[in-house]
Structure 1
Amino acid sequence: MIPWLTSGAFLLAAVVVGSVLARRPQARTPAGKALLTWNLFGAVAQVVTIHPVYHAVSSLVGHHNTAIVLSHGLGLVAAFFAEIMMLCWTRGADGARAAARYRAAVTGGAIAVLAVLFALTPEVADTPASWRLDNIERPTVALYSVVYALAYSWVLLDLCRLSVRYARMVVTPQTRIGLQLFTVGTAFGLAYQLMAAVDGLVGATGHRLPAHTPLSLALVCIGVVFLCLGAVVPLVTTAVIEFARRCRQAWLCHRMEPLYRDLATEYPQVLKGPVWYGTTGWLVNWYGNGRRLMQRTIEIHDGLSELRPWMDDLAYRVGATEAMKEGFDAEAVALVAQSVQVADALRTKRDGAPGHRIHVEMVEVAKDHEAVWLARLAQTYRTRLVDHTLDALASRRDPAATAAVRNPS
């Protein structure tokens, strides 16, 4: 059951990473490709230990238990690509190539020694679950266990060191959490390899420890799950954050529609985008939501700039007064006052009144808050409070007044 779980974890991680690389060209970096290769080799290393595959490999090669050395070799290769991934993150692609040379030599040398020791071991019947433990009293198998455990422990310690170093460099919390999960996985893997080294050392003396196959398999399973989570969690979390961000962009576009629609009617040469932006729009233009929101924000600003000659400071003051009567805070007061001013300017322009020579200043908004402000302005612009304020403004305004002054800063 454990090989199915561990191979499934690696395959799921490979599918997630592969889909991200396929959909996002900017993610196809050396580190991203090494991450995918690590998961693929790790999955194959676990698949060959599944009983039907294990026996099929023995039949194909003509030598029992060949799948075990194949699994161990592929596991070391997978761990090597995990090192490449970490090296690319911490040192860059050029630094990773230089640092990978001696690691590749150590990994290749360890795999060669394992193959020789396996070949020197007398052939026994297939034992997928415990070939190493069942034959630990044989000198070649004992040495095999020590070499494999030391090689893998060295790789895991290197991965743990690199992940801790990289955690100090990253700024996103999801990446930091992924690295912490990765470090936990390497700790479980290291515990398993140290147990294998002790088995080998005890076996070299002609003795064996009490059976502990369930514990060994549990350590492997937990370690693999945490390693895969460490690779997948940052990608999935980033995708969820991106999903939420694009949904918010579409929601802001939709909330801007009342103001955008009226401005587009008055200035079709300025506001050229589609007026309606409902559910179908943001689903069809999923990857364009950010561009559409930026375009809509710029066009509304352009439309308001064209409308500024018809904006009246009296409308702003009356709107602020009515908002303060409702007990609104300062930001809401400015929002209502600006909405009244815009609504009054549109009504005045439609009535054919000439614009003022002195343009009225708009409320200053931080650039990173512009889209939210315009969305709130568009929603406030059509409320009953604004309609009521426009009626109050009509009763107070002197029809002979044609000049406007700037809004107070």
Structure 2
Amino acid sequence: MSLVVYLAALVFGMTSVLLFRRPRTAMRDPLTLSTCAAVLLGALVFVCAAPATLRTVNDLTGVPNFGAPLTYGMLSAYSCAVLVLLINWRGGPRPLVRRMVLRSMAAYGLLVAAVVVLFLLADADTERLTDLDTYYAGTPFMREMILLYLLGHSAAMLVMCAVCVKWGREVGGLLRAGLRLILLGALLDVVGFQLTKYTAVVARWAGHDLDFLSTTVAPPMASLAALLCSAGFVLPRLLPPVLAHWRGLDDYRRLDPLWSLVRSVSTAPKPPASWWQLPRARLQWREVSIHDALLTLAPYFDHDLRTRVRDAALGAGRSAHAARLAAEAAMLADAARRAAAREEPPDTAGSYRLHATEVPGPSGLVELAQALRRPPGRGTASGGARPSSLTGTVSEPEEPHVA
């Protein structure tokens, strides 16, 4: 059982590390800070609740069941952290948010203090690592301590359910998906953990033995519920940058044909060792380098060639946009050949702005790169030779295929 609990704690810890990957920024962002605190406290709850940890704590302190108020106090702190996270996530005027956060912390601070006091007043000399709640369900002060931590956790989960239902009607996208995961986790916690604990404790009061609900059913339900809640909290925070980096990697690869054509004329400074760089950083450097190369090649643009290819594409029934891309691809390939061969600029050279430089982001460059990749057609381009790369290899006169 301890191994499973420790694995759950490890998942929580890794999530917290991902969210806290930029400490300076995170410390200034209440939402990130409260998310990390809630996830980290959830991990600590799992660590403290593991039987191996309880035994170690009891042995180190010399106090039987000292791990109980430690675990219950940590669970209460986690409940408070969840409420604080919801308050920061919901947002609003900063004075109101700060006031609600302080009230939540004060309430659960008193609860933790009450848990400790009740444990000190109780007679709990028999060490129980897995069934303390039911074993001491009828013991004075221990009974109150157990009920108090359960009620505090129930209050936090029920508030979280209500907020998720209400807020889920107002938002959409990833935020709504995250709220649904949180709601599912909270409901699983209420039914699978709290209800089973209450049932087992009340059964003890009535003289029945339903301890298996508390010792066998509740722990895995609590683990699954906490993981679902954590996934709901971090999904809207982590998934957008992950998707952005994935799209950046895709755009970086799709720029390969254009980069292969112009890389030898780019004068942009080389980046530092890039094996560790995130895809978006690498894409940004490649964009800058390509734009620099396009400026270098601009004097070599043959606008007669561009016009002939564009007119041929329009005559073949292509759209104006597709015809422009095909014409610019042919003109850029011809300019790269002239630059590689150190030829003089053509007489038809003049100012012209490529479509790729008119749109923000990498989308225009990607379109131009894909136009360069298409197999060339024959019979419409200029009589000059067309390069297959900047290495100087020359093919027969051809016209780029227009898609």
Residues 252 and 230 of structure 1, relative CA distance in 2, 3 Å threshold: same
Match runs of 1:10-29 below 5 Å: 10-23=9-22, 25-28=24-27, 29=29
Equivalent positions of 1:260-339 (< 5 A) are 260-261=262-263, 264=265, 271-273=266-268, 283=275, 285-286=277-278, 288-300=281-293, 302-303=295-296, 305-307=298-300, 310-312=302-304, 315-320=305-310, 322-323=312-313, 331-339=321-329
How many Å separate the matches in 2 of 1:320 and 1:381?
A: 15
Aligned to 1:241: 243
Cα distance in 2, alignment partners of residues 5 and 288 from structure 1: 38
Select which of 330, 335, 357 maps to 1:340: 330
With 103-112 and 148-157 compared, the bigger mean Cα shift is at 103-112
In the alignment, is the contact (CA less than 8 A) between 1:88 and 1:95 conserved in 2? no
The DSSP-based 3-state class of the residue aligned with 2:63 is: coil
2:179 equivalent to 1:182: no
Per-residue deviation, 1:67: 0.9
Mapped to 1, the partners of 2:23 and 2:374 lie a distance apart of: 42
Q: State how far apart, in whole Å, the 2-side matches of 1:345 and 1:301 are.
A: 10
Name the amino acid aligned to 1:193: Q
Structure 1 residues 384, 229: closer, same or farther in 2, change over 3 A? closer
> Matches of residues 59-98 of structure 1 in structure 2 within 5 Å?
59-91=59-91, 94-98=95-99
Which amino acid in 1 is paired with 2:331?
A: Q
Deviation at 1:157, TM superposition (A): 1.8
More helix per residue: 1
Q: Find the aligned partners of 2:60 and 2:337 in 1 and give their Cα distance.
A: 84
In 1, the alpha carbon distance for the partners of 2:255 and 2:23 equals 24
Corresponding residue of 1:45? 45
Tell me how far 1:311 sits from its aligned partner: 1.6
Alpha-carbon contact 2:299-2:349 (below 8 Å) kept: no
How much is the aligned-residue C-alpha RMSD, in angstroms? 3.7
Cα pair distance change 1:202/1:377, threshold 3 Å: closer
Distance 1:364 1:379 in 2: 12
Give the whole-Å Cα distance in 1 for the aligned partners of 2:50 and 2:349.
Answer: 83
Check whether the contact 2:263–2:293 (CA below 8 A) recurs between aligned residues.
Answer: no
Which residue identity lines up with residue 240 of structure 1 in the other structure? V
1:130, distance to aligned residue in structure 2 (A): 0.8
In structure 1, the residue matched to 2:149 is 148
TM-score (norm 1): 0.76
Post-superposition Cα deviations, 1:362-392, rounded to whole Å, max 9, x if no partner, equal: 5588614x63333443454476627754345
Alignment CA distance shift 1:35-1:363 (3 Å) = closer
Shift of 1:331: 4.1
In the superposition, relative to structure 1, how do residues 354 and 114 fare at CA in structure 2: closer, same or farther (>3 Å)?
Answer: closer
Partner of 1:220: 222
In the alignment, what sits opposite 1:210? 210
Q: 1:119 to 1:199 in 2, by over 3 A?
A: farther
Partner AA of 1:257 in structure 2: W
Give the equivalent residue in structure 2 for 1:110: 111
Contact 1:114/1:144 (CA < 8 Å) preserved in 2?
yes
Return the alpha-carbon distance in structure 1 between the equivalents of residues 35 and 127 of structure 2.
32
Taking structure 2 as the reference length, the TM-score comes to: 0.77
Are the equivalent residues in 1 in contact too, given 2:300–2:345 (CA < 8 A)? no
The Cα of 1:153 is off from its aligned counterpart by 0.8
Letter in 1 for 2:295: D
Contact 1:8 1:43 in 2 (8 A): no
Unmatched tracts of structure 1, length 5 or more: 265-270, 395-409
The answer (yes or no) to whether the contact 2:325–2:368 under 8 Å persists in 1 is yes
Q: Report sequence identity in percent.
A: 19
Mapped contact 1:259–1:381 kept (Cα < 8 A)? no
